[in-house]
Structure 1
């Protein structure tokens, strides 16, 4: 495919991005939506191969089902002159493999952040019963902002597609392939978790755990060798973080995390001081037949043909050969059995010694068996975080466990009257019928809000959202660095409840100009992303449009093509669809409310910042309707326009805290 070639009259090829075993990828420009895209074009020599075409189509189907910020989006599927192609989101950056090479060593917090993004994407795929089966750093893209996006669902398979789960064909890179996949067994969600564990290992150490000259030697190491310790590579890596690697890469799938969400939850607290003394994770020996060591010759026969690192199915273990009878050959080449001799008659002393040792062995064996039988039966503590007391009791009972002591503590992460944590912790091995102590949330706790002026907005936003705050931004032209916080509307030092607080930061957009694109036909989330990336303040309004479907923009001000300064505001009209017939004229009325003033003892200024959010035919609740400062109780009139049976809403936020909210407003609520 040559540059400037226009595919289907819409996608103009710019340059090649890379070549793969199944398809070539090109950077192209969408002439209709005026954006860069990635075009994946099936290779010329594979266009007549029905298996490859099916795999190519399966990638399109799998990607279409998955909508997630950390999964590369699929925009279009087409065919031109026998050429099948996919049009996908273009991620400007590099794959994780190259990112590790260029930036190693990565800070531990960054490793956890990237892994959390990857895990959330894989969790979405698993929620749709789609297993990726080829997770590796080469299939994870890192954009210029450091965000991860998973691509290449070419060999992903839905669990319901029985025809694609046969054991006669297994694909994927041998460096990241789970032992059961390499054996030719059906891939499961635990197979993806194994690959995720290898990826985490590589991010921590800069290399894969197993290397070899051939795919066979690497596959054998996956069967036989323990994962090398990441702490041997870097002693500063916490044991809790190494334990995530060890559990994810356990040889037996039953010893790995049950779900990707469990791995993400465990990973989140690995740098916490509360886990500083954690012991090294050692998987239990559950005798899984699927991880028996295979003869090298059998593996060689299955993988030898593979020359690019992709591993094909390994055969099942053959039946062991029966030992041949011991024979000797006579001079005329006839074979006769050796004569039997009575060894015991010739060696009576040795026979007595062996009998004594035999008795001792039986006694020791009897003692060991007795000790084994006397040991209590073990089970694991289930995950009950987020459950009510009754639900947690039932979940523990299924594992033959009972509830022990119950204590309460404040929590901004877990709702009131739900379980925060257990002692022992989840997945811990305990004896059956043990008592498990529960810590139950007594509700959110208030905290003192900090001063974040001059800090980086992206880092502050992530930290506050993790604590339960709602975080918004507005941009302002400034000579300071782009992304630096200029001001905040929640007073530093004030005591607030995170789950009830919305903080708005004024963020520097720099002093550059932006070539405003045409945003008509875009969804609200896409427009918000574009505005944030370019330092623009966006206001959404609603209206009826016969030309644009509901939920997409049909007009904007200023128009696309204008050159605007960073920090400027743009207004976007979002369609509610066609105006319904026979509903009469809109009802226009006012609702009067009083904005209560509150003295701020911790602030040098006495003014209250008040934001009013409004929703009716013309306004969207996510956009600020009015932003004002008050020094005393202030009465305002809120205008509503409602058509037919539609209802309105409003929300009042004072100094970042929601103080009033009302929904289902109709003309009957009008104030004279």
Structure 2
């Protein structure tokens, strides 16, 4: 398709956008509606198949029902000179594959936000009984505003019968292909969920979990190899977030999420403090040898059949005579063919004996090699048992024909009591079957003396403390200290604390420079936090209704965009809760009273107390009140709740949570 060609007298081709295994895509201009569109043409090798064309048209028309902000809109379906084409929304940006390459590592809140957009789109498709079947980052576009849009609905479904016979398609999609699809079984909604789990894995690690030189080797790994741990790649990834990857990519579809909505709901809370310490997800059936062996033969046979079919179709005239010659040669000349053989054997008896004895020797050597191979001890791969209880680890090792060896117990602030810290040999190593695997098991947490980190570099301190199990937060302040140095800390130096239960907030120097504040209206929470971190600003999030801005996007800020403010300043950003409900429920306002106990310490006579509140007007991620106490202190906490909403509060004294209620209602009000 050349530039300036006008398709159906309406869509003028501008340039090529790319070529795929199924179709070629062009940027075009709609001359009637005066807008840019994307035109997708089926490849030449698929245009002459009437069944494919009919299915393509039917499924493409069905795709017009998928109206969703995160699905590329389908505008038109047509045919010209035998060319089947789709006219779709043009998304200016890049696909998710390239977006990951350019922006990795992505902040975890942004990863969750992108996946929530994708999941909501797939949920809409599944509600219309449309299965994508080819979900991968290359089929997900990211526009200039960071919004995700899924493409190739319709084509993926319409051409599903070609997915295992198009060599290029296999090579392009096998990294995201579910085990049941690789076997040739019918794809289901759980197949899409598996692909979504692989996409989430790539967002977290920057690469796909399984690699290989051939499509078959990669497909085999999908249903034979354990999913690599994203926490092995980055220990800061919460276990709850890894569990979403593990459940979505379970080998057995029955162990995966029942629906995409279930996966979205689980993903939404993975960064919540309430899920800290969550156990690692394990499927009901940790392994089934039979389901691992059968697919390899099926896949190899399928691709071999494809290779033979391609060869036959590529050279039908030359292949047939060759086969005929080889089959009929022994019976072509009954009188002449045997004579040379008898003549040769009489003339060269020594050569004939050499050939016979050589063949016997080769057979004996082959038999010896087979015998040696069979006599070798069988090998087993050590499974990943870290995070499991001793009992669960023992059962998992037994399924891999391994036994528990020496058990060592040590204190650990990162692993729960009576859970495995590590194994020796470590996970994924190859050992002989029946080998003994040593386990190091946590005997519980231990208090450690908290250091004095004032004047040190925040980034270095944070990395070390997070590795020890602490939760670390930061707030900025103007200071004469160098940018990035710690001004103060809210956990008293030399106090004994449990890392897993301690949150420390550092006040970090923002230097003395001024920032020209940008307009953050219309941005997500993760984008705002990324901007604030880069410019060393504090953000105070508040929530309210907005008829002009959709839910979870900002609709106003103070100071306004364009203001000159000093680094370390606090910017208040109002996040939309959506449009004001038509039936307005009067919010309930009440107070909850609680007492903060004074903590005796030999280092200081005062306690540093921070109060966090979650209700209609406050977010628990922001400090509601910061005070210093020298005795037991009674506090009145104001709440405003609408309808059936529940509030939360958390009180932190010297870095340790001393009071918390995550389900505050008007019944908790005190007079």
TM-score (norm 2): 0.57
Q: Distance in 1 between matches of 2:555 and 2:107?
A: 39
Measured after TM superposition, the shift of residue 563 of structure 1 is 2.1
> What is the root-mean-square deviation in Å for CA atoms of aligned residues?
6.5
Rounded to whole Å, the distance in 2 between the matches of 1:564 and 1:435 is 66
**Residue 211 of structure 2, aligned match among 232, 248, 256:** 248
Once the two structures are TM-superposed, the CA of residue 324 in structure 1 deviates from its matched residue by 6.2
CA distance in 1: counterparts of 2:530 and 2:435, whole angstroms = 50
* 2:593 maps to 1:591: yes
Q: Distance in 2 between matches of 1:478 and 1:456?
A: 14
Q: Deviations over 1:206-242 (max 9, x none)?
A: xxxxxxxxxxxxxxxxxxxxxxxxxxxxxxxxxxxxx
Structure 1 529/588 Cα, relative in aligned 2: closer, same or farther at 3 Å?
same
**Structure 1 pair 259–489 and aligned structure 2 pair: CA distance change class (3 A):** farther
Residues 486 and 506 in structure 2, CA contact (< 8 A), matched pair in contact too: yes
Inter-partner Cα distance in structure 1 for 2:413 and 2:437: 23
Pairs within 5 Å for 1:535-574: 535-541=536-542, 545=545, 547=547, 552=552, 556=556, 558=558, 560-561=560-561, 563=563, 565-566=565-566, 567-570=569-572, 572=574
Match of 1:417 in 2: 418
Show the counterpart of 2:267: none
- Which secondary structure does the structure 2 equivalent of 1:383 belong to? coil
Q: Distance in 2 between matches of 1:398 and 1:612?
A: 50
**Which residue number in structure 1 is paired with residue 264 of structure 2?**
none
Give the aligned partner of residue 500 of structure 2. Answer: 499
Residue in 2 aligned with 1:488? 489
Residue from 162, 166, 190 that aligns with 2:163: 166
Quote the Cα distance in structure 2 between the aligned partners of 1:361 and 1:532.
Answer: 71
Equivalent in the alignment of 2:38: 42
Counterpart position of 1:660 = 659
Shift of the alpha carbon at 1:86?
4.8
Counterparts of residues 119-518 of structure 1 (less than 5 Å): 154=151, 163=160, 166-169=163-166, 171=168, 248-251=211-214, 252-253=217-218, 256=221, 262=228, 264=230, 267=233, 289=300, 321=323, 323=326, 337=337, 339-342=339-342, 343-350=344-351, 352-353=353-354, 357=358, 360-447=361-448, 449=450, 461=462, 464-465=465-466, 467-477=468-478, 485-491=486-492, 494-509=495-510, 511-515=513-517, 517=519
1:55-70 alignment, distance < 5 Å:
none
- Counterpart-to-counterpart distance in 2, 1:194 and 1:624: 37
C-alpha distance 355-43 of structure 1, shift in aligned 2 (>3 A): closer
**Partners of 2:668 and 2:577 in 1: CA distance:** 26
Q: Deviations over 1:415-439 (max 9, x none)?
A: 3333333333333333444443333
CA distance in 2, matches of 1:162, 1:500: 53
| 2:417–2:443 CA contact under 8 A, matched in 1 | yes
- Structure 2 alignment gaps of length 5 or more: 1-13, 29-34, 48-52, 78-85, 123-130, 236-295
SS at match of 1:262: coil
Write the distance in 1 (CA, Å) between the matches of 2:662 and 2:199. 47
Partner Cα distance (2:136, 2:66) in 1 = 16
In structure 2, how many angstroms separate the alpha carbons of the residues matched to 1:17 and 1:656?
59
Alpha-carbon displacement from aligned partner over 1:438-479 (angstroms, at most 9, x marks no partner):
333334454555565566656665665455432323233457
Other structure's SS at 1:416 match: coil
Are the counterparts in 2 of residues 247 and 256 from structure 1 also a CA contact under 8 Å?
A: yes
Q: Contact between 1:486 and 1:507, CA under 8 Å: does it hold in 2?
A: yes
What residue is the counterpart of 1:622 in the other structure?
Answer: 621
| Distance in 2 between residues matched to 1:329 and 1:89, nearest whole Å | 67
> Secondary structure, in 3 states, of the residue corresponding to 1:341?
helix
> In structure 2, do the counterparts of structure 1 residues 20 and 390 end up closer, same or farther at CA, with 3 Å as the change threshold?
same
Unaligned runs of 5+ in 1: 1-15, 27-38, 65-72, 100-109, 144-148, 204-243, 270-285, 303-316
Contact 2:465 2:472 in 1 (8 A): yes
The CA distance in 2 between the partners of 1:387 and 1:463, in whole Å, is: 25
Query: Residue 382 of structure 2 contacts residue 397 of structure 2 at CA under 8 Å; is this kept in 1?
Result: yes
Tell me the residue number matched to 2:637: 638
Specify whether residues 552 and 247 from structure 1 end up closer, same or farther in structure 2 by C-alpha distance, changes over 3 A only: closer
1:185 to 1:196, Cα distance in 2 relative to 1, 3 A: farther
Shift of 1:593: 0.6
Contact 1:193–1:249 (CA under 8 A) maintained in structure 2: no
Distance 1:552 1:570, change over 3 A: same
| Aligned match of 1:238 | none
The verdict on how the C-alpha distance between 1:185 and 1:624 changes in structure 2, with shifts beyond 3 A counting, is same
Structure having the higher helix fraction is 2
The total of aligned residue pairs comes to 537
* TM-score after normalising by structure 1: 0.57
Q: 1:170 and 1:344 mapped to 2: Cα distance? A: 49
| Distance in 1 separating the partners of 2:649 and 2:213 | 52
Deviation at 1:407, TM superposition (A): 3.0
